[in-house]
Amino acid sequence: MQKASLKNTYTYLLPFLFLFIIIFQNSACKSPDTIENAKLKFSKSIITFDTVFTTVGSVTERFTVQNPYNFEVTTDIYLAGGDRSQFSINVDGLSGHSFRDVTIPAKDSIFIFVKVNVNPNDANAPFLLEDSIIFRNGSNKQQMNLVAYGQNANFIVADSELGASGLRYKIVAREGQTVTWTKERPYVIYGWAVVDSLGKLIIEPGTEIYVHNGGGLWVYRHGNIEVNGTLEDPVSFQSDRRDAYVTNNGALWNRIWINESNHNNIINYAIIKDAYIGVQVDVLEEFLAGKTTIQNTIIKNNAGWGILGRAANIDIINCEISQSWQYAIECAIGNYSLKHVTVANSATGRKTPSLWISNNYIYSDGYSNINMIGNTNFTAQNCIFTGNMADELGSSVADGATFTHLFENCLIKSKENKLQNFTQCLFNKDVKFEDFAKGDFRLTVESPAINAGKNIGISNDIQGKSRDENPDIGAYEY
């Protein structure tokens, strides 16, 4: 009786089972425009842009829209702000603010690219821009939020061209003129901002300078610059593309370029990053007595050099020079003094040592290469030279000029170095930074650099911390 009852039950349910299968197959085969509950998937939850300057377009952000189903989905895609939006989108190669009936094949995805352009207003402070991208298929609605910060700036736009070189520039301090840049609004440079002969540029604490691709700041021969940052308000130099970063394939801007002068140039408490060369000091016509002092400054993440000196007088004090894809510091002909400098370089693909010293270099005048030879005097005290190469020191000595050098109480990574004058130096020790990979070059308690320096009269470190009678090696006191 029990078996017969079960058989009757199966017989009774069988038609309903067939009906369920037919309904399921029909629903799975419905056309996309009748599918109300298809939820698309996004590769990001929100699109954000760092501060974008008025009239300067952002870099392009992108995300993918995925259809996870076994059927195609057709959706409308549009900016909630419509034609008035300061954002723009590109959907699979087409630009606009609104797109109808965009089909995403089954188990496939599409790319959407987003940019933002900021309209100017009268505000000095950054302001917030918001919008969203709407995705609507049937009654189903999803959105991707867009957030950007906009800011007005002082724009310096090149209005002249230097002969056949094609170098475009604008003079910001003319002969006999002293110009001051303040922190009320950032400065955005298109081309080269030039301090002319006998002109002077003073940059006050907290000033932010942003340079467009290929441009820079050029202090022409006999010009003068004072970068007067403070510990609390450093001066910053970086790319105007704030949401991009430098790689070994190219820089975001060119350099700070200082030519010979009888004036003393000062860079104090600055952050210089993402250039081809952080600071270049060199000669155009004659070697002069003016000195460039760079102190309490961080120069990092440059596609070429951190500091390049050629026939120059440079003092570098309490500075961090890190992550350069060529030399962190090159000292070729001239007088160079380094005190409490941390040179740390792990840029991938680099083939040149962190420090290069020589009494010669090759100069190109555009027509031929000229071998320049001159006297060199180099001193490094309480400095760190380390990185991911076996030998972080390099040199070239030519006949016909003097070459003197001294390393005193330095921590150096070098295994086959040809230089000879070392006093109380430590070789090939693990410096034990807080976090080399993340660019934190403060010392840990286990560092061999602690108390290994010589008292040379530098009372504070780069962060304002007092040094004791037995100072630590490098820019940072533990």
225, 183, 219, 184: which is closest to 201 by C-alpha? Answer: 225
Distance of CA 391 to the CA centre of its chain: 26
Torsion-angle region of 48 (φ positive above 0: left; ψ -120 to 50: alpha; else: beta):
beta
What's the whole-model pTM score?
0.78
Computed over its alpha carbons, how large is the radius of gyration of the chain?
A: 31
Cβ-contact 345, 352 below 8 angstroms: no
HSE, CB side, 13 Å, CA atoms: give it for residue 388: 14
What's the rounded Cα separation, in Å, for the pair 174 and 189? Answer: 17
Q: What is the pLDDT of residue 419?
A: 82
Sequential DSSP letters for 31-52: -GGG-S----EES-SEEEEEEE
Q: What is the pLDDT of residue 33?
A: 43
| Residues of the chain under the 70 pLDDT cut | 1-36, 55-58, 120-123, 125, 242-251, 417
Contacting residues for 256 by C-beta, under 8 A, at least 6 apart: 216, 217, 219, 237, 267, 272, 275, 277, 278, 279, 280
Q: What is the pLDDT of residue 127?
A: 76
Cβ-contact 89, 47 below 8 angstroms: no
189, 324, 191, 315: which is closest to 248 by C-alpha? Answer: 324
Return the amino acid letter for 246.
Answer: V
Helix (H) or strand (E) holding 13: helix 2-28
The two three-digit tokens of residue 297, written as one number? 């400054």
Q: What is the pLDDT of residue 243?
A: 58
pLDDT, tens digit, for every residue of 84-113? 898 999 998 889 999 999 999 999 999 999
CA 382 to each of CA 2, 405, 420, 451, 472: distance values in angstroms, whole numbers, following the listed order:
95, 14, 17, 10, 7
Q: What is the pLDDT of residue 15?
A: 46
The two three-digit tokens of residue 95, written as one number? 């630009």
